Homo-oligomer: A and B are copies of this chain.
Amino acid sequence: MSENPENIEWQQTATSDAARAKALGQRGCVIWLTGLSGAGKSTIGLRLEAQLVTEGHAAFLLDGDNLRHGLCADLGFSNVDRDENIRRVSEVAGLFADAGIITVCTFISPMLEQRARARDIVGSERFIEVFVDASLEVCEGRDPKGLYARVRQGEIEEFTGITADYEPPVQPDLHLRTDTEDASASTDRIIDVLCQAGILSA
């Protein structure tokens, strides 16, 4: 209590990255999984999140489909709206990294420029781009959401890899080949990168 509360000096206290790292035993970062529909982004992302949380870490998956129902529910699928979708998601991923969270993002994010902007917003030193790579044939063969079938039946016009471009990463931090490597091995390789980067203790 103060007799002159209106004269209280309203001291601002900021929480440092170091204080968060100490509290959480990790550094915040963004693991950005990019690739075609069916390449395995969600599978690997979910597995990575589950494994990290089981090991006691603060990790969270930001998933393309989920965010379309909430934060980005007002956006459609025009190029402008797709860009805005990725912009918002990048901003949110940056906030999660600020909070010290290991943030796993699974978005097709087909354009080099979209991913460059994501890296720019998040900060290059804590942005890990992972190319989840499988051939179009393999992705279409899996077709977990039945989307390729709908494209072939003409129900979906614009679809990355078929009627719209996918620009593969030129120099990703990690290149996973999910047509020759299973999800467990892929997840382990991401964890290795997190250890090497000092985000997790080895």
Give the interface of A toward B (CB within 8 A). Answer: 1-2, 5-6, 8, 10-15, 19-20, 22-24, 40, 42-43, 46-47, 49-50, 53-62, 70-71, 74, 84, 88, 91-92, 94-96, 98-101, 121, 138, 141-142, 144, 178-183, 185
Whether the Cβ atoms of B101 and A11 lie closer than 8 Å is: no
Cβ of A46: which chain B residues have Cβ within 8 Å of it? 12-15
Q: Copy number of this protein in the oligomer?
A: 2
Whether the Cβ atoms of B2 and A182 lie closer than 8 Å is: yes
* A186 nearest CB across to chain B (Å): 11
* A39 nearest CB across to chain B (Å): 10
Whether the Cβ atoms of B88 and A19 lie closer than 8 Å is: no
Choose among B91, B101, B138 the residue that contacts A99 (Cβ–Cβ < 8 A).
B101
Whether the Cβ atoms of B71 and A92 lie closer than 8 Å is: yes
Whether the Cβ atoms of B98 and A8 lie closer than 8 Å is: no
The 3 closest A-B pairs by CB, nearest first: A60-B99, A71-B91, A10-B43
Whether the Cβ atoms of B58 and A144 lie closer than 8 Å is: no
